Amino acid sequence: MNSTIALPDYRDQSPEVSARFARLHQRPVALEVSGLTKHFRTPRGTVTALDDVSFSVHKRELLSVIGPSGCGKSTLVRILAGLETPSAGLLRVYGEPVSGPGPDRGMVFQGYTLFPWLTVKENVMFGPCMSGTSSFAASSEAREWIELVGLSKFENSYPHQLSGGMKQRVAIARALANQPRVLFMDEPFGALDAQTRCQMQSYLLEIWKNVDITIVFITHDLDEAVFLSDRILVLDANPGRVREIVEVPVPRPRDPEQLFNPSFMAVRQHIDRLIHPPGQGHKEAPVLRLAVADPDVV
Amino acid sequence: MTRPGILKNWFVIRRDLPPARRLALTCASFLFPLALWSFVSYVPWIWHPDVKIELSAEREGVTTVFTAGDHVSRAFFPEFVDAVRKENAAVLDSRENGTSASGARRKNQKLLRQLAPLASSHDWLPFAEAQNDAALYGIWRDIATGTKVPSTPPLTPENLQIVRENWKLLSASSSEFSLKLLPDQPLLKLIPQGKPANPIYLPAPDEVITTGLRDFSAEVPTGELTMSDRYKKSLQVIFMGFFWACVVGIPIGILCGVFDFFSKLFEPFVDFFRYMPAPTFSTLLVAVLLAGDAPKIALVFIGTVFQMVLVISKTTRLLDPSLLEAAQTLGAKPRQMVTHVVIPGILPNLYNDLRILLGWAWTWLVIAELIGVKSGLTEFIETQGRFRNFDRVFPIIILIGVTGFVMDQVLSALHGVLFPWSGNNGAPSQGIPRWARSTLRAITSRTTSNSVTPS
From A119's Cα to the closest Cα of chain B, the distance in A is: 9
Co-location of B181 and B112 in the same domain? yes
Domain span at residue B351 reads: 214-447
Per the rule left: phi > 0, alpha: psi between -120 and 50, beta: everything else, B325 is alpha
Q: Domain locations in chain A?
A: 27-104+181-277, 112-179
- Give chain A positions within 8 Å (CB) of B328: 82-83, 101
A158 with B420: Cβ contact below 8 A: yes
The domain that holds B432 is classified in CATH as 1.10.3720.10
Answer yes or no: do B136 and B277 share one domain. no
Q: Are residues B169 and B84 in the same domain?
A: yes
Instruction: List pLDDT tens digits, range B275-317.
Output: 988 888 888 998 899 888 899 999 999 999 999 999 999 999 9
User: B304 and B189, same structural domain?
Assistant: no
Which of A85, A110, A113 to probe the B interface (max B CBs under 10 A)?
A113
B351 CB neighbours in chain A (<8 A) are: none
- Angstrom distance (rounded) from CA A263 to CA A249: 6
| pLDDT, tens digit (0-9, with 9 covering 90-100), for B69-110 | 888 999 999 999 999 999 999 999 988 888 777 778 888 888
Contact B325 A106 (CB under 8 A): no
pLDDT reading at B166 higher than 50: yes
B320–A130 C-beta distance less than 8 A: no
Nearest C-alpha neighbor of B31 from the set B41, B39, B20 = B39
A105 at the B interface (CB within 8 A)?
A: yes
H or E element at residue A62: strand A62-66
CA distance B32 to B30: 6
Q: What is the pLDDT of residue B6?
A: 84
Look at residue B421 and tell me if it is in a domain: yes
pLDDT tens sequence across B224-245: 888 889 999 999 999 999 999 9
A8 touches chain B (CB under 8 A): no
Residue B447 scores a pLDDT above 90: no
pTM equals 0.80
CA distance B326 to chain A (A): 6
Closest CA to B409 of B431, B440, B438, B426: B431
Taking only the tens place, the pLDDT of each residue in B352-392 is: 999 999 988 988 998 899 888 888 899 999 988 898 889 88
CB contact under 8 A, B454 and A139: yes
**Residue B238 covered by a domain:** yes
B92, B219: one domain: no
Residue B16 lies in a domain: no
Is residue B380 a contact partner of residue B370, using CB atoms and an 8 Å limit?
Answer: no
Residues of B in contact with A84 (CB under 8 A): none
For residues B375 and B391, what is the distance between their CA atoms, to the nearest angstrom? 20
> Which amino acid, B325?
E
What is the distance between the alpha carbons of residues B50 and B357, in angstroms, rounded to a whole number? Answer: 41
Point out the domain boundary residue: B197, B229, B260.
Answer: B197
E strand or H helix that includes residue B277: none
β pairing state of A96-97 and A214-218: unpaired
- A143 Cβ contact list (under 8 Å, min separation 6): A121, A152, A155
Contact B423 A102 (CB under 8 A): no
Cβ contact A106–B330 (<8 Å):
yes
State how many domains chain B has.
2
CA dist B102 → A269, B106, B164 (Å)? 129, 11, 21
**What pLDDT is stored for residue A279 in this prediction?**
66
Do the chains contact at A127 and B331, CB–CB below 8 Å?
yes
What's A297's DSSP letter? -
B424 falls within a domain: yes
Chain A residues with CB under 8 Å of B329 CB are 81-83, 101, 103, 105-107, 175
Contact check, Cβ <8 Å, A130/B327:
yes
Residue B423 contacts A, CB cutoff 8 Å: yes
Do residues B59 and B84 both lie within one domain? Answer: yes
CB–CB contact B340 A126 (8 Å): yes
- Which residues in chain A show pLDDT less than 70? 1-4, 279-283, 285
The pLDDT of residue B429 is above 60: no
What ipTM describes this predicted complex? 0.89
Region of A214 on the Ramachandran plot (φ > 0 left; ψ -120 to 50 alpha; else beta): beta
Residues of B in contact with A136 (CB under 8 A): 454-455
Q: Is B333 touching A (CB cutoff 8 A)? A: yes
Among B325, B330, B455, most A C-beta atoms within 10 A, so best to mutate, is: B330
B418 to chain A, any CB pair closer than 8 A? The answer is no
Closest by Cβ to B421, choosing from A131, A160, A178: A160
d(CA A226, CA A251): 11
For residue range B50-71, what is the model confidence (pLDDT) as tens digits? Answer: 998 989 888 888 888 888 888 8
Supply the pLDDT for residue B432. 47
Q: Is the Cβ of B330 closer than 8 Å to some Cβ of chain A?
A: yes
A86 touches chain B (CB under 8 A): no
- Cβ of A127 and B420 within 8 Å? no
SS3 string, chain B, reads CCCCHHHCCCCCCCCCCCHHHHHHHHHHHHHHHHHHHHHHHHCCCCCCCEEEEEECCCCCCCCCCCCCCCEEECCHHHHHHHHHHHHHHHHHHHHHHCCCCCCCHHHHHHHHHHHHHHHHHCCCCCHHHCCCHHHHHHHHHHHHHCCCCCCCCCCCHHHHHHHHHHHHHHHHHCCCCCHHHCCCCCCCCCCCEEEEECCCCCCCHHHHHHHHHHHHHCCCCCCCCCHHHHHHHHHHHHHHHHHHHHHHHHHHHHHHHHCHHHHHHHHHHHHHHCCCCHHHHHHHHHHHHCCCCHHHHHHHHHHHHHHHHHHHHHHHHCCCHHHHHHHHHCCCCHHHHHHHHHHHHHHHHHHHHHHHHHHHHHHHHHHHHHCCCCCHHHHHHHHHHHCCCHHHHHHHHHHHHHHHHHHHHHHHHHHHHHCHHHCCCCCCCCCCCHHHHHHHHHHHHHHHHHHHCCC
Interface probe with B: pick from A77, A118, A130, most Cβ of B within 10 Å: A130
State the pLDDT at residue A79.
Answer: 93
Tell me the CA end-to-end span of chain A in Å, nearest whole number: 13
A28 inside 8 A of chain B by CB:
no
Are residues B253 and B360 both part of a single domain?
A: yes
Amino acid letter for position A64: S
Give the tens place of pLDDT for each residue, B337-355: 999 999 999 999 999 999 9
Query: Where does a domain end: B164, B197, B230?
Result: B197
- Interchain contact B2–A (C-beta under 8 A): no
| Chain A environment of B449 (Cβ under 8 Å) | 156
Q: Which residues of A touch B455 (CB under 8 A)?
A: 136
Per-residue pLDDT, B45: 80
- What is the distance in angstroms between the Cα of B42 and the nearest Cα belonging to chain A? 54
Q: What is the pLDDT of residue B451?
A: 41
Flag whether B20 is in a domain. Answer: no
Write out chain A residues lying below 8 Å of B450, CB-based: none
Give dist(CA A275, CA B414) in Å, integer: 54
> Where residue B220 falls among pLDDT bands split at 50, 70, 90?
confident
- Cβ contact, residue pair A135, B454, below 8 Å: yes
B375 falls within a domain? yes
Asked if A108 is an interface residue toward chain B (Cβ–Cβ < 8 A), one would say no
Give the pLDDT of residue B292. Answer: 85
- Chain B nearest-CA distance from A92, in A, is 16
Nearest CA in chain A to B345: A117
- Cβ separation A127–B333 shorter than 8 A: no
CA distance B350 to B422: 12
Binary contact (B325, A83; C-beta < 8 A):
yes
A130 part of contact set with chain B, CB < 8 Å = yes
In chain B, residues with a C-beta closer than 8 Å to the C-beta of A126 are 327, 330, 332, 340
Whether B173 and B321 share a structural domain: no
Closest CB from A109, A136, A158 relative to B322: A109
Angstrom CA distances, A282 to A3, A277, A278, stand at: 17, 10, 9
Distance CA B62, CA A54 (A): 107
Across the interface, do A111 and B322 touch by the CB < 8 Å criterion?
Answer: yes
Residue B445 confidence (pLDDT): 52
Pairing label, strands A214-218, A62-66: parallel
Q: How far does the CA of residue B245 sit from the closest CA of chain A (Å)?
A: 26
pLDDT tens, position by position, A165-182: 999 999 999 999 999 999
Contact assignment for A101 to B345 by CB distance below 8 Å: no
Which chain B residue's Cα is nearest to A183? B329
B193, B220: one domain: no
End-of-domain residue from the set B172, B197, B222: B197
List the single residue in B with minimal CA-CA distance to A107: B329
Looking at the domain that runs over A27-104+181-277, which CATH code has it been given?
A: 3.40.50.300
Instruction: Check residue B192 and report its DSSP letter.
Output: P
| Together in a domain, B241 and B175 | no
Listed residue (B196, B91, B181, B82) closest to B133, CA to CA: B181
Q: Nearest CB to B341: which of A115, A127, A129? A: A115
Does B107 map to a domain?
Answer: yes
pLDDT beyond 60 at B452 = no
Quick one: closest CA in B to A135, which residue? Answer: B454
